[in-house]
Structure 1
Amino acid sequence: MTTLKLRTLATVTAVAAASMLFAGCTTTRPGDTGTSSSSRTSIDAQVDASLSKLYQTVPGSREMVSKAAGVLVFPSVVGASLGVGAEYGRGALRTGGRTQAYYSTTAGSIGFQAGAQSKAVIYVFNTQESLAKFRNSKGWTAGADATVAVATIGANGSVDTNTIRQPVVGFVLTNVGLEAGVSVSGAKITEISL
């Protein structure tokens, strides 16, 4: 098998495994029905909390987000793995401080790994062009449809000036703060209806 076929097979396997994992992780019982309004309200509240954490953790991030064309926030991207890993999360795109649409993110990986984790992933669209390309896509993949510069912190403790100049910047926050040296490439992002 070629490397491309193996990679495709691995991605399909990871997404299938994630679907089964996440189907078992629901907080609703079969008879329960959640309303679209409560789902949107819940996601929006989690987005607010994630942005607050970003602003507290990364000096200069509030100004960067306020100047951005848009910000896409996934407050809780949950990953689980046992050899094959998968991640899933839901979030919201905001422009001018207002939610415009809701999205899901999925990603898969292969390699020796075991365990589960949750993190917040935030994409800052610094230009109207990068935001328009994202909004017009029918499924956007970080690293393939646009290069995403993972945020770095400069010597002064604030967001590095080279980072600010990139069209799309990604932040990954864990319970302990900003995660350094992480890649967001390969995350598939799709608009969802709530």
Structure 2
Amino acid sequence: MTLLSRRSFALSALATTTLSACGNGIGGNGAAEIDARVDSTLSFMYNNFPGTRDLSTKASGMLVMPVVTEAGLGLGASFGRGALKVGPTTVDYYSATAGSAGLQIGAQQYSTVLFFMTQDALMDFRRANGWAAGADIEYALNDTGETLRAETTTSLAPVIAVVFAQAGFRAGATIEGTKYTRIIP
């Protein structure tokens, strides 16, 4: 075994072990399990960030990703599963995947909710064959742990992302560059 193949093997083993140990449902969440996690995540978000209730009543739809797991050591990856809700109804299920390269080390998990504030933004998302989150997303920020700040410019954006409940030892959580794909659980 050469040094390069040992290093590749070690990185692969670390990434596989980290992602499989996180319990984020890579192994086959059924619709009922995803729905239960989505409901729990929404309840947590509404209780801890009351301003999100107002966003949800104004939104045309919400993509809720209860657990996104992100890990990296030079090369990084993230994965999660969730549901698209229009009103109180789940209309589709999605996976979120991303890859990255650069100076990075660590792992974390977080929850994210995308609020589609216009019908056009929601329809563009649903029609796309794999939608990639990009620069057109505005982030609502958690300033003090109690309040969620969504400025006037943010509330006029077609898509607002709320990232919360981070746990782990990796700096930052972002969804830019994440690809969302419709799945059948």
Sort the TM-score into its range (normalised by shorter chain): 0.7 to 0.9
- Cα shift at 1:113: 1.8
> What aligned pairs does 1:175-190 form with structure 2 within 5 A after superposition?
175=166, 182-190=173-181
- Cα shift at 1:83: 1.1
Tell me if 1:165 matches 2:156. Answer: yes
- Cα shift at 1:150: 0.9
- Cα shift at 1:160: 2.4
Aligned positions, number: 164
CA distance in structure 1 between the aligned counterparts of 2:129 and 2:63, rounded to whole angstroms: 16
Question: Which residue in 2 is equivalent to 1:25?
Answer: 20
- Cα shift at 1:64: 1.0
Is the 2:116–2:158 contact (alpha carbons within 8 Å) kept by the matching residues of 1?
Answer: yes
Task: Give the TM-score of the pair, scaled to structure 1.
Answer: 0.74
**Identity over the aligned pairs, expressed in percent?**
40
Q: What RMSD over aligned residues (CA atoms) do the two structures have, in Å? A: 3.0
- Cα shift at 1:63: 1.6
Question: Which residue in 1 is equivalent to 2:8?
Answer: none
Question: Which residue in 1 is equivalent to 2:138?
Answer: 149
Q: Secondary structure at the match of 1:56?
A: helix
Q: 1:110 to 1:24 in 2, by over 3 A?
A: closer
CA distance in structure 1 between the aligned counterparts of 2:60 and 2:19, rounded to whole angstroms: 37
Q: 1:22 to 1:124 in 2, by over 3 A?
A: farther
Is the 1:153–1:160 contact (alpha carbons within 8 Å) kept by the matching residues of 2?
Answer: no
Structure with higher strand content: 2
Question: Which residue in 2 is equivalent to 1:67?
Answer: 58
Tell me if 1:83 matches 2:49. Answer: no
Q: 1:40 to 1:105 in 2, by over 3 A?
A: same
Q: Secondary structure at the match of 2:20?
A: coil
AA at the equivalent of 2:72: S
Unaligned runs of 5+ in 2: 1-11
Unaligned runs of 5+ in 1: 1-16, 28-32
Question: Which residue in 1 is equivalent to 2:6?
Answer: none
Tell me if 1:104 matches 2:95. Answer: yes
Q: 1:168 to 1:123 in 2, by over 3 A?
A: same
